[in-house]
Amino acid sequence: MASTESLNNTEKDILEAAKKVFVEKGYSGARMQAIADEANINKAMLHYYFRSKDALFDRIVDGAVEIMAREFTPVLSSEGSVMEKVEMLIDGYTKTIIENPYIPIFVLNELSQNADKYQARLKSKMEKTQFFSGFLFQIAEEQQKGILKPVGVDQFIITVMSLLVFPFVARPVFENMLGLEKGQYFEMMENRKALIKEIIHSSLVEKKNI
Amino acid sequence: MASTESLNNTEKDILEAAKKVFVEKGYSGARMQAIADEANINKAMLHYYFRSKDALFDRIVDGAVEIMAREFTPVLSSEGSVMEKVEMLIDGYTKTIIENPYIPIFVLNELSQNADKYQARLKSKMEKTQFFSGFLFQIAEEQQKGILKPVGVDQFIITVMSLLVFPFVARPVFENMLGLEKGQYFEMMENRKALIKEIIHSSLVEKKNI
DNA sequence: CAAAGGTTTATCCAAATGGTTAATACAAAG
DNA sequence: CTTTGTATTAACCATTTGGATAAACCTTTG
């Protein structure tokens, strides 16, 4: 429910504008008036459609959660080796985040700040937690069997996510630091998919000695 | 100038409290009253010592910049191969951030949002930019000479920083996701130093074929 | 075309918030 | 002990901001 379908234009405009302003300014820094301006509508419309700033924000979070769930659930619940799943995640995540660059920033900035509030929602709405803990278990298993290097489950997860997620979270910093523009940067992220896979293979996967 | 010396107690208390509240709530979300409460002082004292919210925030940013500059400048301006420098940075950064965990969160959350405002300060205050661009050049050089794998300068930088920085930025998320506590997490980051070096060696450094 | 229901607007409001001020407490110096 | 400059407090203020409201405006439909 509540995807982008079945929304009238004003509603979509509001969501787009809100997304932008919330990401740029953060929840507290975002002004309802700024969102209204960005959407070219009267401020009262925000409340007409979404009742409150909080509700509007939550709606966007819900959207993000849904997008990520759609991305992760099928991969994590599929059959296949850890590395097969990881490679699928790298491709899928990169694609999804290039389409929705606001998501990782949201997760890090806002969800970290109100951990208590959103933690519940995350764990509940996605029974995916099953898949996730199952995935953790599978990693442990393959590390024990000698398929993966025995670096520990936590380090494995942290490493993969660092390589995959950080470039998107720190995009503003990197673009500035390396003198790139948004377009170039995303192109670079496309190329990066292959590099990440190589890095993981050469450092977290046990070399086959047949 | 303006290190922690030569500050009376109230002043130190304020800075500590402000650091905490700013990191937890972000600049806009932070309330002067909350900072005062955290420091157990009257709200007016904040203005007495630091004049305004903005000035107080800037003061903390300055502190962070100084700490990081002290960390990076000597390493980047030293003699030595890229990998020697990278290894020094890994050790130094990990130590510094465990002592000042607020810094990476600050950089990412706040500095990204007011890029324009702080970009200037960063580039000016540190002529370090020289050292940095010099470092970039050295990476290009070693990649060309076949010392480092030719993955490109940008990818090299992004990869190293991802592995090193992300675990600290995403600490709240990971602690929650993996069920760890602050102490355990930092311990893990200590161990991670070695792992990061291995990863970089096995994936970004050309294998010696003597 | 007129009633009805949904949409949009201008205006207003109460609460929150950064900041000010004037009075008070305190400590050091004479 | 008094003076003087600093530290601290309580009360107050102006502005901002999320939100409410009632009137005006469309659009649909009977």
Interface test with A, best of B90, B106, B112, B118 (most A CBs within 10 A): B112
How many CA atoms are closer than 13 Å to the CA of B24, on its beta-carbon side? 13
9-38 on B, CB < 7 Å from strand D: 10
**Secondary structure letter of residue A166 according to DSSP:** H
pLDDT given for residue A13 in this prediction = 96
Say yes or no for a CB contact (<8 Å) between A113 and B180: no
Q: Is the pLDDT of residue A43 over 60?
A: yes
Q: How many residues does chain B have?
A: 210
pLDDT given for residue B109 in this prediction = 87
pLDDT given for residue A4 in this prediction = 53
Q: Is B29 on the interface with A (CB under 8 A)?
A: yes
**Taking the model in full, what pTM does it have?**
0.92
From the CA of B29 to the C1' of D12: give the distance in Å. Answer: 24
Q: Is the pLDDT of residue A207 over 90?
A: no
pLDDT in tens, chain B (210 residues): 344 556 788 999 999 999 999 999 999 999 999 999 999 999 999 999 999 999 999 999 999 989 998 999 999 999 999 999 999 999 999 999 999 999 999 888 888 888 777 877 777 665 556 888 899 999 999 999 999 999 999 999 999 999 999 999 999 889 988 889 989 999 999 999 999 999 999 999 998 765
pLDDT given for residue A128 in this prediction = 57
Best CA proximity match to B155, nearest among A156, A166, A63, A134: A166
Three-class secondary structure of residue A169 per DSSP? helix
From the CA of B102 to the C1' of C27: give the distance in Å. Answer: 36
Q: How confident is the model at residue A125 (pLDDT cuts 50, 70, 90)?
A: low
pLDDT given for residue A195 in this prediction = 98
| A37 CB below 7 A from strand C atoms | no
Q: Is A104 on the interface with B (CB under 8 A)?
A: no
A36-39 long-range contacts, CB within 8 A, separation 24+: A39/A10, A39/A13, A39/A14
Q: A-chain residues within 8 Å CB-CB of B199?
A: 159, 199, 203-204
pLDDT given for residue A200 in this prediction = 98
Average pLDDT over residues A114-138: 78
* CA–CA gap between residue A81 and residue A181 (Å, rounded): 37
| A25 CB below 7 A from strand D atoms | no
Q: B-chain residues within 8 Å CB-CB of A157?
A: 174, 177-178
Asked if residues A65 and A122 have their Cβ atoms less than 8 Å apart, the reply is yes
pLDDT given for residue B125 in this prediction = 62
**Which residue is nearest to the C1' sugar atom of C11, using CA?**
A44
pLDDT for A152-178, tens place per residue? 999 999 999 999 999 999 998 899 888
Instruction: Choose the closest CB to A108 out of B108, B154, B177.
Output: B108
Helix spans in A100-127 (H):
102-106, 112-113, 115-125
26-45 on A, CB < 7 Å from strand D: 30-33, 43-44
ipTM attached to this prediction: 0.91
pLDDT given for residue B6 in this prediction = 61
Q: Is A113 on the interface with B (CB under 8 A)?
A: yes
Instruction: Choose the closest CB to B174 out of A158, A166, A195.
Output: A158
> How many CB contacts within 8 angstroms connect chain A with chain B?
121
Q: Is the pLDDT of residue A119 over 80?
A: no
How many CA atoms are closer than 13 Å to the CA of A165, on its beta-carbon side? 23
CB atoms within 10 A of CB B24: 16
Asked if residues B129 and A176 have their Cβ atoms less than 8 Å apart, the reply is no
The percent of residues above 70 in pLDDT, for chain A, comes to 92
Say yes or no for a CB contact (<8 Å) between A163 and B163: yes
| B48 CB below 7 A from strand D atoms | yes
Q: Is the pLDDT of residue A1 over 50?
A: no
Asked if residues B160 and B86 have their Cβ atoms less than 8 Å apart, the reply is yes
